[in-house]
Amino acid sequence: MANAQQVVLLPRIPRGGSVEHFYHFLMSYFLPLDVYIGREQPDSIVVRDCGPMNPWFELLDPRTSIEIRPARQFAADESGEVPGAVYVPSLEIKSWAQARAIRAARKRILTRHGMSLTRPAENSLTLIKRMPSLPFYLEEAEIRTSGAERRSLPNFAELRDALAEVMPLKEFEGEHLTPLEQVRQVNSTTMLVGQHGAGLANVIWMTQGASVVEILPDTKIGWAGRRHFRDLASACGHSYRMVRQQDNHTPADVAAVLRAVGR
């Protein structure tokens, strides 16, 4: 067990990512922090400010005190490293060892907050609604972007109404939920449907035997990006279906989504 001295823990974010963007925060900082805390059981840790993602730190083990410091306080040396800091390894899927770590971390977090991996008795569907990520319009944001500007579903309402005819449906708007509310909503559903984007990272909170349908634009997403959520769903033991979208802002193929859901 680590002693009472604070441990400075910093992430290794893949090039082009940011701890202020949910997918990279979740996979390269939040879950690795849970892994580290579970292994070392430190009394206290220091983490860097992650902007709108900071409330997620409250879901970590409460026995470890967490201090959030501004990113500017962590000055790197010539090697690009912050002296004295411990860098937690990313869990963005590359190996089975990372998949095992993800499964173990999600089990700890769900158990800690009174949830389980047991599949709900009734089937239900959660549809992710892409909304503007307002915090990223702030001048102090690390990388200023907005999810709905990058990709959108202009026929979202049509898709929602069609899916609601298949099974009970809830819309998922993470921007308006606390982290714990986000986890609880996704944990209570048996199927998650959404356009390619950070919200699909919430598949890790789903129960055993859940299903994921990703609406994936054909353009502007490289090979690695296409595999993000397929690999994450597989690591968590979920079934996965992909429905192609012609472009980042073209209507979703409602019939194709319904077929994927039916399968």
pLDDT, one tens digit per residue, over 193-217 is 999 988 999 999 999 899 999 999 9
pLDDT of 228 over the 90 cut: no
Which residues have a Cβ under 8 Å from the Cβ of 63 and sit 6 or more positions away? Answer: 41
Greater confidence, 15 or 202? Answer: 202
pLDDT, one tens digit per residue, over 71-95 is 999 989 988 899 999 999 999 977 8
Q: Which of 47, 68, 92 is the last residue of a domain?
A: 92
Average pLDDT over residues 40-50: 95
219 lies in a domain?
yes
Q: If you average pLDDT over each of 46-50, 128-132, 145-149, which comes out highest?
A: 46-50
Residues 84 and 203 reside in one and the same domain: no
Residues 78 and 202 reside in one and the same domain: no
Residues 163 and 74 reside in one and the same domain: no
108 lies in a domain?
no
Residues 160 and 88 reside in one and the same domain: no
215 lies in a domain?
yes
Structure tokens at 68: 């959030």
Residues 76 and 142 reside in one and the same domain: no
Residue 139 banded pLDDT, cuts 50, 70, 90: very low
Residues 69 and 140 reside in one and the same domain: no
DSSP state string for 159-194: HHHHHHTTS-EEEE-GGGS-HHHHHHHHHT-SEEEE
Cα distance between residue 229 and residue 236, in whole Å: 10
Residues 66 and 188 reside in one and the same domain: no
218 lies in a domain?
yes
139 lies in a domain?
yes
Instruction: Answer for the pair 220, 201: CB distance below 8 angstroms, yes or no.
Output: no
User: How many structural domains are present in the chain?
Assistant: 2
18 lies in a domain?
yes
Q: If you average pLDDT over each of 33-42, 146-155, 211-220, which comes out highest?
A: 33-42
225 lies in a domain?
yes
Report the CATH number that the domain containing residue 200 is assigned in CATH. 3.40.50
- Predicted confidence at residue 18, as pLDDT, reads 87
Residues 152 and 38 reside in one and the same domain: no
What's the distance, Cα to Cα, between the start and end of the chain in Å?
A: 48
* Domain region containing 60: 7-92
Q: Which of 92, 111, 133 is the last residue of a domain?
A: 92
Average pLDDT over residues 119-128: 94
Residues 145 and 230 reside in one and the same domain: yes
Residue 143 banded pLDDT, cuts 50, 70, 90: low
Instruction: Answer for the pair 237, 144: CB distance below 8 angstroms, yes or no.
Output: no
